Structures are given as structure tokens and as C-alpha cells.
Structure 1
Amino acid sequence: MSFLELVKARRSVRKYARKPIPREVIDKCLEAARLAPSACNSQPWYFIVVDDEKLKSELTDKAFAGIYSINSFAKKAPVIVAVVTERSKYIACVGGYIRGVGYSLIDIGIACEHFILQAQEEGLGTCWLGWFDEKQVKRILGIPKDKKVDVMISAGYPEGPPAREKTRKSLNEIRRFC
């Protein structure tokens, strides 16, 4: 599969088959994430893979309760990955402050997309999760208060084919040559 075909095939999956994901497959996805570029090579990420059924149940019950219930579909995913934002290198922090840019968030986004694209290559479906109770996630996973969890990823083998075609703006709507 070409890279463009891979990107075209990738979509958010919210229905997962009841099939465990071998840790070797998750490790391939993590290896892709590990190799992502980052500002000043700061690599401000740490991945917590939750595949233990009891812990995953506790995590998803608390993280996706109440106002966060829109993501309750993730409870059925075989794996949840919490992405912990580590402190960036000093130079990246200073540069980000001067420019008003959160480089660590950009870096996390790149690493997560590497993870997600490798997951697609492995036959997995994933979904970015940004709406969850971060305090509960940190408490349950033992993440220090000074760290951030800005993103989680649900992963599993898709239950079936995509429900609908992928829709995006046309190329003419998003680019301009000068």
C-alpha cells in the first residue's frame, strides 16, 4: 500500500471486534510514534498502553462518564493508549513561548498520527480521544499531577467495513500557490 493509499484508508473507528491485539503489534505502532520528529528533538511523549481488561474497564468507566460520555464507545476497544506530555527541552519551550506556539502539542500530534498510521497498516482501527476526564485518567494510571494527558487513542480490530465514505474539502479549497 502506498502512503497516500494508507492515509486514504485511515479513518476513526468506533466499533471494535472482540479480538485482543498482540503486544507485538502495539509495539510496532509505538516504534512508529517513537521515530516521529519533534521540536529540538525533545520527544515530549510517553505512552501508557492499557490492555488489562479490569484496569481498562475502570479507566473508561471514569474517563468517559458524565459530560465525557460522547466517547463511551471506547469502553469496547481492546486497547486504550494514554499519551502523556513530558516537558519539552528548554530551547523548544523558549521558542514556543516567544512564538506563542505549543510545540509539545504539535509534537504529540505528529507522534500520535505515526502511531495511528502504523495501526492502520497493521489492520487496526483507531480513534483520537480528546474529550475525557483527565483528573480521573491521571489518578487511575498513577500519572503525576505535573504531567498532562492531552490525548488518548482507542485501538482495536474494526467490527466491520467503514459505515460511510470519507468526506474532506477538495484540494482547490485548501491550497494556494504563490
Structure 2
Amino acid sequence: MSQHDLPTVEIDGKQRYVEPAEATDVEAFRAVVRSRRSVRKFTDRPIPPDVLDDCLDLAMLAPNSSGLQMWEFYVVRSPEKKAALVKACMSQLAARTAAELIVCVSRTDRIREHAQQTLREWPMPTMNPLVRRYYQLIPWHYSPGPFDVAARVKRVVYSAVGLVRPMPRGPFSSADLDLWAAKSTALACENLVLAFRAHGFDTCMMEGFDEARVRKLLDLPDAALPIMVVGAGERAADGVFWPQLRFDRDQFVHEV
């Protein structure tokens, strides 16, 4: 669809983009969510390439901060690298038996690049000047500076202004940025595992891995942070080791 074919309606005397919500099936979604389990053992059945591609595409539709898409997905196909990744995952059964191993990585070194790409590829014919200015300022706002010096200055300034009006309190430091990017990447990981479940396959989200070995295996720069390794495949009959345990809802849901 070209920019000239975008659906619009007139609201308050201005043409506004409209995107009606598609019809959904809550029971089908409930079945996907409830049947998603951490599967520790998979069969030998391969995942069709078109299913894998669709799951990755659905992962990248996840919500993410400012639409900057600070993630990467490494599908490890080389037998040598896959064996090394299994070892880096402590040789756990889910890694050894998975048909596919996908390393989900967040990136904080592409903020400027992706902000500029957003400005170039904005999907509307025009861009609100405030939105344009926002994306122009993103590299400055998220830059911690050498040795996090700029981060410390911005933290003091924003905290002072925050005494009189609401202000964002980060991300400022390098650690703040790692957490910021990890949040969006984790949302994409959730999309990924639910997509596999919707296609009839299962997953295990593994955080137990040797980060240094994974970095070396994938030749990742310092600003890349491996968030998790997702093993995917067909669930073996004994692939789920015990019933799911969830604590009482009242421990977590609060009305204030």
C-alpha cells in the first residue's frame, strides 16, 4: 500500500489515519497461552522453514520502545556452532534435542541508526514536527557519553526538573540502556514462543547459558546483550516434566 492509499477519515477537520482492529478469537488465543509450556525434550521432527520464518516475523511485530526495534535473532544452523551453543547452554536437554536454537539479542549500539532509519522510512506522507524532533533527539537522549559522564549529568538535570513536573527518569547510563533494550527484546521473545505454539510447535526459553561463550560464538560486540536462547521443536511425549505451578492471583494483582 502506498502512502497515498492509506485509509484516512476526517476528525476535527483533519485527515487522520485509521486502522480498524481485526476480528479476534479469544478462545483460540487462550488455548495458545495456556498450552505454552517450557518443553525440556523434543522429538526429531524438523520445523518447516516457512513456519520458522513466520514465527520470526511475528516476533518482530512485538511492541517496542519508540518503535526502534533494538533486537536481533540468530538462528544457529551450522552443526559446529549448534554443538558449541548446546555446550554453552550447559548441555541441558532442551538445547540438545531442539530442532532449532535461536539466540535473542538486544542491541544498544544502533539507536542512532534506527532513529535515522525511522525518519527516512516513516510510513505517513508527512511527519508531525514534534515527532520528527523527538526522533532527532533520541540519539542525544539515550547517549550515556564516555564513562557515563553525560548520563550522570542528565540524571541530575532530569531529577531537578522532575521536582516540578513529570519527567522520564532514564534510560541514561549504559546499564539503564541494557535494561531498556532487554525489555523490548523480551517482548519479542514472548511473541516468538507464542507463534511457535500457534503453529503446533513448542519452545524452551533458556536463560541458563554462558554469556561469554555465546558472545564469542556469534562474534557479538560489547553493546549486544544475549537475552535468552530459545529452543524450538515438536514436544516429546515426556517433554513436560511436571504440571504448571502458578501462585495465587492475589499475590500479584492489585487494585489501587
TM-score, length-scaled by structure 2: 0.61
**Equivalent residue for 1:81, pick from 80, 102, 106:** 102
Any idea what SS the aligned residue of 1:2 has? helix
Distance apart, 1:72 and its partner CA? 4.8
Separation in structure 2 between the aligned mates of residue 122 and residue 53 of structure 1, nearest angstrom: 25
- CA RMSD in angstroms comes to 2.3
What is residue 159 of structure 1 aligned with on the other side? 236
Q: Counterparts of 1:94-133 in structure 2 under 5 Å?
A: 95-97=170-172, 102-133=179-210
Contact 2:74 / 2:104 at 8 angstroms: preserved in 1? yes
Q: Counterparts of 1:1-178 in structure 2 under 5 Å?
A: 1-61=27-87, 63-64=88-89, 68-69=90-91, 71-87=92-108, 89=111, 90=138, 93=142, 95-97=170-172, 102-160=179-237, 162-178=240-256
Contact 1:50 / 1:80 at 8 angstroms: preserved in 2? yes
Separation in structure 2 between the aligned mates of residue 45 and residue 155 of structure 1, nearest angstrom: 19
> Could you tell me which amino acid in structure 1 is paired with residue 195 of structure 2?
Q
Q: 1:51–1:20: structure 2 CA closer, same or farther, 3 Å change rule? A: farther
Distance apart, 1:59 and its partner CA? 2.2
The more displaced of 17-26 and 113-122 is: 17-26
Q: 1:158–1:51: structure 2 CA closer, same or farther, 3 Å change rule? A: farther
> Could you tell me which amino acid in structure 1 is paired with residue 231 of structure 2?
S
Distance apart, 1:123 and its partner CA? 1.2
Identical counterparts, % of pairs = 28
Distance apart, 1:10 and its partner CA? 0.6
Q: 1:6–1:52: structure 2 CA closer, same or farther, 3 Å change rule? A: same
The structure having more radius of gyration, on CA atoms, is 2
Q: 1:52–1:21: structure 2 CA closer, same or farther, 3 Å change rule? A: farther
Separation in structure 1 between the aligned mates of residue 61 and residue 246 of structure 2, nearest angstrom: 28
> Could you tell me which amino acid in structure 2 is paired with residue 96 of structure 1?
P
> Could you tell me which amino acid in structure 2 is paired with residue 109 of structure 1?
A
Contact 1:93 / 1:103 at 8 angstroms: preserved in 2? no
Gap runs ≥5 in structure 2: 1-26, 112-137, 144-169
The more displaced of 101-110 and 23-32 is: 101-110
> Could you tell me which amino acid in structure 1 is paired with residue 82 of structure 2?
K
